[in-house]
Structure 1
Amino acid sequence: MEVNILELVEGARRARGLTVVIDVFRAFTLECYLFAQGAERIYPTGSLEEALALKREHPDYLAFGERGGAQVAGFDYGNSPSQVAGLDLTGVTCIHTTSAGTQGVVGATGADEVVTASLVNARAVARYIEARDPREVSIVAMGNAGVSSAAEDVLCARYIKSLLEGDPIDVRSEAAALATGAGAKFFDPARPEFPEADFPLCVDCDRFDFVVRVGADAGGRLVNTRFDLRG
C-alpha cells in the first residue's frame, strides 16, 4: 500500500486511489457529530449558490454553511459542532458547504473512492483503509480555506498514516497542544465565529467508530453517508 499525504485544494485535485479528505476545524468534525446525532445523509457542496438552491428545492433539509468561519445568511446553522450539541437529527438530510472541507470532496475527481476524516474518527478511517486494502491511498489535509497549511489537518493526516504503518504517533498530546497554536482562535473573544466549546469537541480523538463515505444519489449528486465498522 502506497500512502501519500497531500495538502490543500490542489492536493485534492491530485489525489488518486482511496482518498481521505481531512478538515478538523471543523467541517468533518461537524459531520461526524451530525451523523452521531441521527442525520441520514449530508450533501456536500462547493458553492453557496448550489447549497442555497438545494435548500430552496428541499426546504425540509437543514443547511450548514460557513465562509471565513462565520455562518452564512440563509443557512440554518454554521459549521460549529457545539451549536448543534444535543439536537435530534434522526432521519434528517443535511446540506453542507465550507471554505475547505467540502471543496476537497468536490475537487477530488481523480479518486477511486473518497472518505472524509477528522481527529474524532481518524482511527476508524485507518481501520477502514486496512479493510479495503487499496494499492494507493491519498490523504489530503485541506488546511485553511484550502489554500494554506493547517497544523490540525496535517496532524490528522500524520496520525492516519502512522496507524497504517503500525507505528502510531502520540496524537492526543499533539492535539491538546493545538490549543496554543492552530486552535488559539477558539479562545479569542474577538472571533465569536469560533466558539471555545468547539475546541474540545474537535480534538476528542477517536471518539467515533464510523467513517463518512462520499457517494452519489440517484441523480448523480455527491452525498455523504455514515458507514459503521464491524468487529
Structure 2
Amino acid sequence: MEFRFLGTAELAEAPSAAVVVDVMRAFTVAAWAFGQGAEKIVLAESLDDALALKARHPDWVALKDGPPAPGFDAVNSPGLLRSVDLDGRTVVQKTTAGTVGALAVKEASLVLCAGFVVAEATARLLRARECGSVTFVVTGEGGQADEDLACAQYIARRATETGADAAEFLRRAGESRAAAELAGGVRQGAHPDDVALCLELDRFPFAMVAALEESLMVLRPCAVPSLTDGAPN
C-alpha cells in the first residue's frame, strides 16, 4: 500500500482512494453524530447551501463552525453534540476545512473521512478494500495542521504494520496549534472537553464513507472487519 499526504489545495486530480482527515473537529463531530444515532451526514458546499438544505428539509439538523447562528441547530463541537439525540436524523455539516477536503475528492472511487476516534476502523477498511494507493488529505491549516498529519500517519501505519503505537501521534496532536486554540478559548462554538474528545483513540467501531448520492456528498458509517479478521494487533 502506497501513501501520499497532501493538503486540499495540492490535489491535482481525484485519487483512487482518499482519507480526508479533520481531527479538530469536523470528523470527530461526524463520528459523534453517528454515535448519537444520525443516519447520514450531508456535506454542504457553503453556509448558504446548508441553510437551503435545511429550508427544504426542516427536520434535518444543520451545524457549522463557530458560534451559534440563525438557521443552524448546532455547532461543530463534539462536547456540545454528545448530548443531542440524533436518532434517525440527517445532519447537514459545513466546516472550514474538513467538509471542503471531502468535497474536493468527491470523484474518488473511495472516500473515507477520519479522525483519531475512528482511526483503527479506517485502517481496517483500507486493508479490507486492498487499496494499492491511498491519498491522505490533511485539511487543517492549508495542509499543515500537525494534528491532522499525525492522525493520517498513524492510520497509514496501522494499515500496514503490526503493533503501531499511537502515543507519539496523539502527543503531536495534543501539542498542535488547533489544540492550543481550542483549550485556550480562541475558537468559538467549543466545549472544554473538545480536545480530549478529539484525542480519544478508537472511540467508535465504524469507519465513515462519503459518496455522491444524486447531487449530494453524503457521509455514512460503515461496519468494518473485526479485529480477529487478520488485522494487526
Q: Tell me whether the two structures share a fold, i.e. TM-score over 0.5.
A: yes
- Asked if 1 retains the 8 angstrom alpha-carbon contact of 2:42 and 2:217, the reply is yes
SS across alignment from 1:157: helix
Deviation at 1:194, TM superposition (A): 3.2
Deviation at 1:192, TM superposition (A): 4.3
Superposed counterparts of 1:71-150, under 5 Å = 71-144=68-141, 147-150=142-145
* CA pair 3-174 structure 1, distance change in 2 beyond 3 A: closer
The answer for the alignment partner of 2:219 in structure 1 is 224
Deviation at 1:170, TM superposition (A): 3.3
- Asked if 1 retains the 8 angstrom alpha-carbon contact of 2:20 and 2:114, the reply is yes
The answer for the alignment partner of 1:3 in structure 2 is 3
- Aligned to 2:182, which of 173, 186, 202? 186
Over the matched positions of the two proteins, sequence identity in percent amounts to 34
Deviation at 1:222, TM superposition (A): 1.4
* Aligned counterparts of 1:209 and 1:70: Cα–Cα separation in 2: 30
The answer for the alignment partner of 2:198 in structure 1 is 202
Bigger drift between 30-39 and 78-87 goes to 78-87
Deviation at 1:141, TM superposition (A): 1.0
* Aligned counterparts of 1:134 and 1:178: Cα–Cα separation in 2: 26
Give deviations 1:14-48, integer Å, cap 9, x for gaps. Answer: 45111100000000000001001110011001211
Paired amino acid for 1:77: A
Give deviations 1:197-216, integer Å, cap 9, x for gaps. Answer: 11111000111111111123
* Unmatched segments (≥5 aa) in structure 1: none
SS across alignment from 1:111: coil
* Aligned counterparts of 2:9 and 2:176: Cα–Cα separation in 1: 24
* Unmatched segments (≥5 aa) in structure 2: 227-233
- TM-score normalized with structure 1 length: 0.89
SS across alignment from 2:144: coil
* Aligned counterparts of 1:179 and 1:76: Cα–Cα separation in 2: 29
Deviation at 1:109, TM superposition (A): 4.0
Deviation at 1:191, TM superposition (A): 4.2
Deviation at 1:93, TM superposition (A): 0.7
The answer for the alignment partner of 1:51 in structure 2 is 50
* Cα-Cα RMSD: 1.9
- Asked if 1 retains the 8 angstrom alpha-carbon contact of 2:147 and 2:174, the reply is no
- Asked if 1 retains the 8 angstrom alpha-carbon contact of 2:77 and 2:194, the reply is yes
Deviation at 1:168, TM superposition (A): 5.5
* CA pair 114-12 structure 1, distance change in 2 beyond 3 A: farther
- TM-score normalized with structure 2 length: 0.89
Displacement over 6 Å in runs of 4+: none
